[in-house]
Amino acid sequence: MELRPGQVAVVTGAASGIGFAMARRFAADGLKVVLADVEKAALDEAAAELRATGAEVHARVVDVSERDSVMELAEAAYDAYGVVHVLCNNAGVGSGAEGRMWEHEPNDWKWAFAVNVWGVFHGVQAFVPRMLAGGEPGHIVNTSSGDGGIAPLPTASVYAVTKSAVVTLTESLYAHLKAEHARVGASVLFPGPHMLRTGLWESHRNRPERYAKQRPRRTPYRSLDQWEAAMKEAGQEVRFTSVEEVADFVADGIGEGRFWLLPESEHSDRQIRARSQSMLDRSDPAYLERFILD
Ligand SMILES: NC(=O)c1ccc[n+]([C@@H]2O[C@H](COP(=O)([O-])OP(=O)(O)OC[C@H]3O[C@@H](n4cnc5c(N)ncnc54)[C@H](O)[C@@H]3O)[C@@H](O)[C@H]2O)c1
């Protein structure tokens, strides 16, 4: 679909990182933007920053893991603007799980699934029926990750399982929309090709009491800066992709109606081939083994 001034874009997880960059890009293109996020102070700041550029902004505190909260978001978006063209189900968290899977806390799984998977499903249920009924062209972008969306990083396996689900969910959504000959398309986003400097490493800042950890972590949370420093010390160069590059990639991808919003990357291609080949050969997933001792 062609992005045009006056259209309406809804972005979840819009107060920071990739979500904020997407909202900024849509606003720069003249779209009205609905910013949804669970973190009120950051949301207010993001909304003020966009309004200062002259953008038309509706900001709302939303917890995507709660169905009612997302239903109310849709209600508010339609009350404010009467139509929605673009929906980015982007809010996501790292689970905070550590150690082997059999040692994980169930709440790490519950929280990550509630936000990363149920959050996307709630977005689909709250918005798609109204987008279809409106009859206007539209597009849904669900944020996955190379971690899980392509192959799991076993050291971040809960997150990987949720992001793998986002790919399958979006493939199914695409098929359902096609079967209805809908004017609404769907894409799955793999932000990258490199790491992004965002708040994802500090996801625990938004962890609600109902999914609280039941025992203290054995190791403290590592910040992105600490991780980068450790990688450098180990002689590994870390490359970053800017959030603006991801936002431009998304806007172009919507315009071109591309399903796989997967940036060109030799590393990703190698992983995809290795995983597919392992499945075709019915061989063990040896492409994961170098991580197993981490
Ligand atoms: N940073 C990366 O390298 C990277 C790579 C691949 C995929 N992603 C994905 O990109 C998306 C955006 O993450 P980011 O990297 O910009 O991190 P971020 O932490 O900067 O942004 C995520 C936003 O989601 C919000 N959020 C968290 N829980 C929420 C909830 N329950 N309801 C509503 N909002 C909630 C946060 O407040 C935050 O503003 C996530 O889905 C993430 O998994 C990030």
Residue of the CA atom closest to atom 36 of ligand 1: 13
Asked if residue 11 lies in contact with residue 91, where contact means CB atoms within 8 angstroms, the answer is: no
pLDDT for 293 equals: 43
Residue 215, φ and ψ in degrees, nearest 5: -140, 150
The token duo for 173 is 């959504």
Tell me the Ramachandran region of residue 180: left when phi exceeds 0, alpha when psi lies from -120 to 50, beta otherwise: alpha
- 3-class DSSP state of 189: strand
- Give me the domains of the chain, ranges plus CATH numbers: 8-263 (3.40.50.720), 268-294 (no CATH)
Residue 140, φ and ψ in degrees, nearest 5: -120, 130
Of 106, 7, 157, 127, which Cα lies nearest the Cα of 64?
127
Integer Cα distance of 188 and 167 in angstroms = 6
Residue of the CA atom closest to atom 25 of ligand 1: 13
CA 145 to chain CA centroid, nearest Å: 7
Integer Cα distance of 217 and 213 in angstroms = 8
Residues for the chain: how many in total?
A: 294
Asked if residue 190 lies in contact with residue 263, where contact means CB atoms within 8 angstroms, the answer is: yes
- 3-class DSSP state of 11: strand
**Separation of 177 CA from ligand 1 center, angstroms?**
26
- Paired residues of 12 in beta bridges: 36
Given 78, 159, 174, 287, the catalytic residue: 159
pLDDT for 294 equals: 44
- Residue recorded with tokens 């918005």: 127
pLDDT for 291 equals: 56
**Separation of 91 CA from ligand 1 center, angstroms?**
5
- 3-class DSSP state of 88: strand
Integer Cα distance of 89 and 44 in angstroms = 19
Ligand 1 mutation pick, 25, 43, 163, 206, max ligand atoms within 8 A of CB: 206
Residue of the CA atom closest to atom 42 of ligand 1: 92
**Separation of 236 CA from ligand 1 center, angstroms?**
25
Taking only the tens of pLDDT, the chain with its 294 residues reads: 999 999 999 999 999 999 999 999 999 999 999 999 999 999 999 999 999 999 999 999 999 999 999 999 999 999 999 999 999 999 999 999 999 999 999 999 999 999 999 999 999 999 999 999 999 999 999 999 999 999 999 889 999 999 999 999 999 999 999 999 999 999 999 999 999 999 999 999 999 999 999 998 999 999 999 989 998 999 988 999 999 999 999 999 999 999 999 999 999 999 999 999 999 999 999 989 765 444
Of 111, 136, 117, 140, which Cα lies nearest the Cα of 254?
140
Q: Which residues line ligand 1 (CB under 6 A)?
A: 12-13, 15-19, 37-39, 42, 62-65, 90-93, 115, 143, 145, 191, 195-196, 198-200, 203, 206
**Separation of 281 CA from ligand 1 center, angstroms?**
36
To 5 degrees, how large is the angle CA 17–CA 86–CA 80? 95
Could you confirm whether 159 is annotated as catalytic?
yes
